[in-house]
Copies of this chain bind each other. A is one copy, B any other.
Amino acid sequence: MSTSRSADPLRAPFADWTRAVQARVEAALSRHLPPAEATPARLHQAMRYASLNGGKRVRPLLAFAAGELSAAPAERIEVVACAVELIHAYSLVHDDLPCMDDDVLRRGRPTCHVEYDEPTALLVGDSLQSLAFELLARPDFGGHAKNPERQLEMVRLLAFSSGSLGMAGGQAIDLDAVGRELNQPELELMHALKTGALIRAAVMLGALCGEPLGEAASVALDRFAKRAGLLFQVVDDILDCTASTATLGKTAGKDAAADKPTYVSLIGLERAREFADDLREQAVDALAVFGARAQRLLELTDFITRRNF
């Protein structure tokens, strides 16, 4: 690696860039979370357990990559990346609870309610959600150039994407779908909300940290974000069927065992792979308008497509 690349990790090759963003987000999350010894200590320890030292940080990576489209300052993207990741972490803790997916393994470690206890895990999720919105509303958000209207837009976008018409709504559709047939449009709606909404929020929030995009560019980015979100889920369905528990760091074959509808159960493994290829192509096409500035998003799209299969 050349000296100039070391000096600017955002210009580094993809693997270096990924590690630099992951390390930056890890450090920022650790600063933003209350210290482990602050009262109530057990809750704060559990919040840190559920948010730190884990995950590929796909949503923060998307936020940083999208920020390149609008020349966004890294200190601002860092804040939205943390906010999105806190929402993601809360959703994992609640989804793993016995009354929901009842899972014991997450990111290769015991799930939060197994490591701590159920009521603590419930409060961990609740508190991580509050913290996400607190971060986005901070007066020191993104340094000196204040833009409170933009911050409010971000709060709205993240709240909408997390709520009953976004991520939580997708989870509710998932619950209702167990054991019954969904057609492909129904499955697509479920995933557009359950995983897609927060992926899209990560992309749009990253871009919102910089200069305003034009109308055409916004539409193109939104199209990319939606295709990439669905792609992520289709790949997840394929991995749930083909990868081992050790590779995933979470229980494999879980969806099939729970009789949950997936792309693989709906259209078969072969066609699910073809569908993933189509989505990847559509996502890449949507980025054409951005030229070279979209390099990181293109690399991330490949990364999402190719992880482990």
Query: Which residues in A have some Cβ–Cβ distance to B below 8 Å?
Result: 34, 38-40, 42-44, 47, 90, 94, 97-100, 118-120, 122-123, 125-127, 129-131, 133-134, 136-139, 148-149, 151-153, 155-156, 159-160, 162-166, 168-169, 171-173, 175-176, 189
Contact = CB atoms under 8 A, between A and B. Distances in A.
Given A40-B173, A152-B151, A129 B130 contact: yes
Contact of A155 (B118, B133, B166): B133
B164 A139 contact: no
Given A129-B130, A173-B39, A44 B119 contact: no
Given A99-B122, A122-B100, A127 B175 contact: no
Contact of A164 (B47, B99, B175): B47
A119 B134 contact: no
Main secondary structure, interface of A, reads: helix
Given A133-B159, A134-B156, A169 B97 contact: no
Nearest to A150: B148
Contacts of A155: 133-134, 136-137, 152, 155
Nearest to A97: B122
A133 B157 CA distance: 10
A98 B165 CA distance: 26
A90 B162 CA distance: 15
B99 A118 contact: yes
A49 to B, nearest CB: 13
Contact of A130 (B118, B163, B171): B163
A246 to B, nearest CB: 28
Contacts of A119: 99-100, 175
Contacts of A118: 99
A122 B134 contact: no
Given A127-B163, A127-B168, A130-B168, A40 B122 contact: no
A306 to B, nearest CB: 32
A133 B133 contact: yes
